[in-house]
Amino acid sequence: MSRVLVLVRHGQSEWNLQNLFTGWKDPDLTDVGVAEARAAGKQLKSLGIVFDRAFTSDLTRAQRTLSLIQEEIGQHDLPVIRDVALNERDYGDLSGLNKDEARVRWGEDQVHIWRRSYDVPPPGGESLKDTAARVLPYYIQNILPAVLRGENVLVAAHGNSLRALMMVLDHLTPETIPTVELATGVPLVYRLNADSTVDTKTILNA
């Protein structure tokens, strides 16, 4: 297999468990998150994919997920590039707040708009559109060229930074992307054509 691009959202984090807005805050994985990352690695190993390089964010939960996957696939020496461009969406003033408490403070409708709209940012934070504005250029300049050279590439990142990539890969629109959910620790395996379009996509459910 060549021109394979695998996207994995990090395993469950401590703040996922506590129902907190996380963004650029840096909690570690829970025991469940560790197990999810290891399971993702086992699934990828079963496919026999040998990766040429990996990309991850500047945040611990994504980096640790990648490290655990590397252990499971036996590729400890895989070249890894870390960059803030792949960080989760910045939730600004919501970061660290319980989502239910935020709904009480600002109202259900307003919090829903901040969480699910494409272009309305929370106070002091980023919208999904803002997130895509930093993720997509990085993808085009750094990740995609490696895949088009025939390399197999693994990206361990976050729900919103990966949803930004999925907009391009899956031809999603600002109207359809808000309904897309990414489960923690579930690999999405894309095989690209030489023109960068998607040949096949497989979701590796446990």
Q: Which of 10, 36, 126, 158 is catalytic?
A: 10
Q: Residue 8 corresponds to which tokens in the numbers above? A: 């994995």
Q: Residue 92 corresponds to which tokens in the numbers above? A: 């600004």
Q: Is 192 helix (H, G, I), strand (E, B) or coil?
A: strand
CB 67 within 8 Å of CB 156: no
Residue 170 φ then ψ, to 5°: -100, 5
Q: Residue 112 catalytic?
A: no
Q: Is 53 helix (H, G, I), strand (E, B) or coil?
A: strand
Specify the length of the chain in residues.
206
Q: Which of 71, 76, 88, 151 is catalytic?
A: 88
CB 18 within 8 Å of CB 52: no
| First-to-last C-alpha distance (Å) of the chain | 22
Distances (CA, A) of 17 to 11, 22, 32, 102, 114: 11, 11, 9, 16, 20
Catalytic annotation, residues = 10, 88
